[in-house]
Structure 1
Amino acid sequence: MSRLLGEALTPTILKKLGWRPDTFGKAILLVTVDEAGFPHTAVLSYREVAAKDPATIRFCTLAASRTAQNLRQRRKATLLLIDEGPAYSIKGEAQELPTPLQSFPGLVAFALTVKEVLEDEEPNIPITSGVRFQPPEKPDSLERGKAIQQELLAL
């Protein structure tokens, strides 16, 4: 059952959205609203999302994607953090940042103003895993992820 936590990120969520190598290969789901009013889901890595402060989350997506188009046109978004323990839904309004990511052409950054934070957990029925993906086997992948988060926070 969902429980309203408020209109700001909790310390637990802020920690989850900070730079942590153990999130490599874990995903965050981003839900936007398409032109027909239906939910549209995108999969982001933790390296593409950073909490600026308790009221603001910055994230990036492909500039030419349907997700970016939905955000530009309707601005509504929900980030879903689903992993071991409680699941979190973070609802808000997104605004495209005017400065593109310099080190990663093709990506565009958005700032999500947090409007509602929900925690979902069922007693005696724990969530044991979240959405996972196999990251590319590149020697600099962790460093690139850290660079994306640092650039998002610096915009």
Structure 2
Amino acid sequence: MQRHELSDALYELLNGKELVTKQHEAMMLMTVTEEGWPHTAMISVGEVIALGSKRVRLAMWSGTTTTRNLIRTEKATLAFIYAGAAHYIKLSLKRLPVLPAAKHPRERFEADIVAVRSDVAAYADITTGIQIDLKEEESVLRRWHETLAELVL
């Protein structure tokens, strides 16, 4: 099923709250290189925040292939497994101004949600997606909270 906004469950996942309970969730952020090849990067719940059901913001490391692709094309797709379904969120992005006093300097993007597709199979249940274990949980969660706070400025 395709929609043009986040479901309640996806908004809840990406709302920037209760990060300790969501710390294992990871997503693939897909962009396209200058040569036309798909490029995939990992993104965590500490780098994306839903401002509502139709808009998200991303915090990306400067100088990466993914960030250069986002600046150039202003398009991306988030793909992940959550709550028993595969989710694909098409994004139309605009680069936000740099925050000079940012505690964790990042390139910031605001994205309108163009389409959301959630995919399930009638013949099988999706039991897990990409999961991560943080090596330094306390410091990473603190950085995520600070990064997401800077995204909503």
CA-based RMSD: 1.6
Correspondence for 1:146? 145
Structure 1 window deviating more from structure 2 (20-29 vs 58-67): it is 20-29
Once residues 112 and 85 of structure 1 are traced to their aligned partners in structure 2, the CA distance between those partners, rounded to angstroms, is 25
Q: What is the DSSP-based 3-state SS (H/G/I as helix, E as strand, rest coil) of the residue aligned with 1:115?
A: strand
Correspondence for 1:94? 93
Indicate if the aligned counterparts of 1:27 and 1:133 stay in contact, CA closer than 8 A. yes
Q: What is the DSSP-based 3-state SS (H/G/I as helix, E as strand, rest coil) of the residue aligned with 2:35?
A: coil
Asked if 1:123 corresponds to 2:122, the answer is yes
Once residues 65 and 57 of structure 1 are traced to their aligned partners in structure 2, the CA distance between those partners, rounded to angstroms, is 20
Q: CA deviation at 1:45?
A: 1.0
Cα shift readout 1:124-148 (whole Å, capped 9, x = no counterpart): 4111111122322253322221221
Once residues 26 and 138 of structure 2 are traced to their aligned partners in structure 1, the CA distance between those partners, rounded to angstroms, is 20
TM-score by length of 2: 0.89
Indicate if the aligned counterparts of 1:83 and 1:131 stay in contact, CA closer than 8 A. no
Map 1:1-155; keep pairs closer than 5 Å: 3-4=1-2, 6-18=3-15, 19-20=17-18, 21-100=20-99, 102-105=102-105, 107-154=106-153
Q: What is the DSSP-based 3-state SS (H/G/I as helix, E as strand, rest coil) of the residue aligned with 1:82?
A: strand
Once residues 28 and 138 of structure 2 are traced to their aligned partners in structure 1, the CA distance between those partners, rounded to angstroms, is 26
Structure 1 window deviating more from structure 2 (33-42 vs 95-104): it is 95-104
Once residues 12 and 83 of structure 1 are traced to their aligned partners in structure 2, the CA distance between those partners, rounded to angstroms, is 9
Once residues 122 and 41 of structure 2 are traced to their aligned partners in structure 1, the CA distance between those partners, rounded to angstroms, is 29
Once residues 58 and 82 of structure 1 are traced to their aligned partners in structure 2, the CA distance between those partners, rounded to angstroms, is 20
Q: Which amino acid counterpart does residue 141 of structure 2 have in structure 1?
A: L
Once residues 41 and 90 of structure 1 are traced to their aligned partners in structure 2, the CA distance between those partners, rounded to angstroms, is 14
Structure 1 window deviating more from structure 2 (118-127 vs 129-138): it is 129-138
Alignment coverage as a number of residue pairs = 150
Structure 1 window deviating more from structure 2 (131-140 vs 30-39): it is 131-140
Q: Which amino acid counterpart does residue 10 of structure 2 have in structure 1?
A: I
Q: CA deviation at 1:84?
A: 4.1
Q: Which amino acid counterpart does residue 136 of structure 2 have in structure 1?
A: E
Q: Which amino acid counterpart does residue 8 of structure 1 have in structure 2?
A: E
Once residues 44 and 93 of structure 2 are traced to their aligned partners in structure 1, the CA distance between those partners, rounded to angstroms, is 18
Q: CA deviation at 1:34?
A: 0.8
TM-score by length of 1: 0.88
Percent identity at matched positions?
29
Once residues 73 and 81 of structure 2 are traced to their aligned partners in structure 1, the CA distance between those partners, rounded to angstroms, is 24
